[in-house]
A = this chain, B = another copy of it.
Amino acid sequence: MVNLARDGVRAMTGSHSPLDEFARIDRFFAPLTQNAPGAFGLGDDGALLPAVPDGRRWVVTTDALVADVHFLADDPADLVARKALRVNLSDLAAMGAEPVGYTLALALPRDFADTETWLSGFAAGLARDQASFGIALYGGDSVSTRGPLWISVTAFGTVLESGVFRRSGATVGDELWVSGTIGDAALGLKVLTGDIAGEHPGLIDRYRLPWPRLALARELSGLVSACLDVSDGLVQDAGHIARRSAVRIVLDGAALPLSTEATALVDSAAALRHSVLAGGDDYELLFTARPDAADAIRKAGRRADTPVTRIGRIDPGEGVVVLDAEGRPMEGLEHAGWRHFEA
């Protein structure tokens, strides 16, 4: 149901009073529907999505985040909210879709010290990113849990029926591109967990708050042959394109766009290069295109105020190979999903 209140009544062990729950909905969540008339102020069992123009279709995507897995339990509530939205908006960008709204399921730990304060920050974060990305809340559900806090977001956007980006469209001879810089978020997590010493607020920000590349996706319409967002790690996600498109991806390791901070860290500790290639949480667009689209892609990047870098090529075969500055395949990428790419 849209009603975020059920758990109060239906909980078998412990429970908030439903009065609290209804008050919470009215106070924190109903205001987030003000630009969504079809959400009926969260007062009905579901929401009505807006009509879409002819030729456009709805795209949906679901991403869940769990405390101490996808964010740190003591991360500020507003940043947790914004990250939960943005990882979903990044998926819409990867499909070439324009975001419209989202639904939300939220589980609050029973032993939360100050639920109202946390919810206040959480709702403020949602409101801020709703304004940034032109979206609204279309419903949700709130439950309590003995376990860690979690959030599940389902985001909705629309795409031109003929313009949806897929992972399966890369063909031999295409070039591989990536937006922004790679590795900052993975390094930022290592700073937060103490695995990297020193102050690196820029990297921490990249971990806590990705920026979905919606503007770039809009400008890339009609230019890309395959696309996804880098969330599992550059090499692994390149592997997804390789597998779905039945091609081999050759990554030019020396061409990878690294931030100044990431470059300094990798230069000081070569092992961190692995985090850059496999760490994930980048939420950059990784896409392929015909070589003759290169100029148009650079122009799209400029129009979207988003750097784009050509980082590889599409060959016949399967899997992913990363070449070093001398053009030799890099070793040491047997981690985690690596075998998967070669499968």
A249 within 8 A of B: no
C-beta contact mask, A320-336 vs B, less than 8 Å → 1, else 0?
00000000000000001
B residues within 8 A CB of A281? 10
Beta-carbon contact of B150 and A141 below 8 Å: no
The total of chain A residues at the interface (CB under 8 A) is 87
Set B70, B105, B156, B232: member contacting A18, Cβ < 8 A: B232
Q: Of residues 156 to 211 in A, which have CB atoms within 8 Å of B's CB atoms?
A: 156-157, 159, 161, 164, 166-168, 189, 193
Provided the pairs A44-B167, A231-B1 are in contact, do residues A10 and B280 lie with their beta carbons within 8 angstroms?
yes
Beta-carbon contact of B1 and A61 below 8 Å: yes
Set B104, B228, B339: member contacting A62, Cβ < 8 A: B104
Set B60, B105, B193: member contacting A64, Cβ < 8 A: B105
Interchain CA distance A104-B154 in the complex, whole Å: 9
Q: Report how many copies the assembly holds.
A: 2
Q: Of residues 79 to 138 in A, which have CB atoms within 8 Å of B's CB atoms?
A: 91-92, 94-95, 97, 103-105, 107, 138
Beta-carbon contact of A18 and B337 below 8 Å: yes
Beta-carbon contact of A62 and B143 below 8 Å: no
Beta-carbon contact of B62 and A154 below 8 Å: yes
B residues within 8 A CB of A3? 232, 240
A275 within 8 A of B: no
Beta-carbon contact of B58 and A48 below 8 Å: yes
Shortest CB-to-CB span from A288 to chain B, Å, is 14
C-beta contact mask, A38-56 vs B, less than 8 Å → 1, else 0?
1010011111111100000
A145 within 8 A of B: yes
Shortest CB-to-CB span from A70 to chain B, Å, is 7
Beta-carbon contact of B18 and A68 below 8 Å: no
Binding site for B on A (CB under 8 A): 1-3, 5-13, 17-19, 22, 38, 40, 43-51, 57-66, 68-70, 91-92, 94-95, 97, 103-105, 107, 138-141, 143-148, 150, 152, 154, 156-157, 159, 161, 164, 166-168, 189, 193, 228-229, 231-233, 236, 240, 244, 278, 280-281, 336-337, 339-340
**Sample of 11 A–B contacts (CB below 8 Å):** A2-B61, A9-B280, A12-B68, A43-B168, A44-B94, A44-B95, A45-B95, A46-B94, A51-B57, A64-B105, A107-B150
